[in-house]
Amino acid sequence: MVSAVRRLLDVKLQELPPWLAAWDYSPKGLLRAVHQAWRCYHNKYINMKKGGVAGISMVLAGGCVLGYICSYERLKHSRWRKYH
């Protein structure tokens, strides 16, 4: 049996399906996973004594990528094309 508390990099390829099946996919479980990921990110990049711009720039870059992904279909149709 594969433990769900192991990190993704510690799981071997053959153990991946049981590891994914052991997750809690309820809304409460997904919210708990998002909160844990945010807490880990915040402690590593934001809540430190000598912080830099890396943490904030990752959030801004992620927002830009997410915005581009959301508007890709609209941008795809408004491109200049050689043949219309």
CA distance 65 to 63: 5
CA distance 58 to 19: 28
Specify the higher pLDDT residue, 74 or 83. Answer: 74
pLDDT at residue 31 in the model: 93
Q: Whole-model pTM?
A: 0.53
Q: Is the dihedral of CA 61, 40, 55, 27 positive or negative?
A: positive
- Please compute the mean of the pLDDT values over residues 19-36 and round it to a whole number: 88
pLDDT digits (tens, 9 = 90+) for 28-78: 988 998 898 889 888 887 777 776 777 788 889 999 999 999 888 877 776
Q: With CA atoms as reference, report the closest residue to 19 among 6, 32, 34.
A: 6
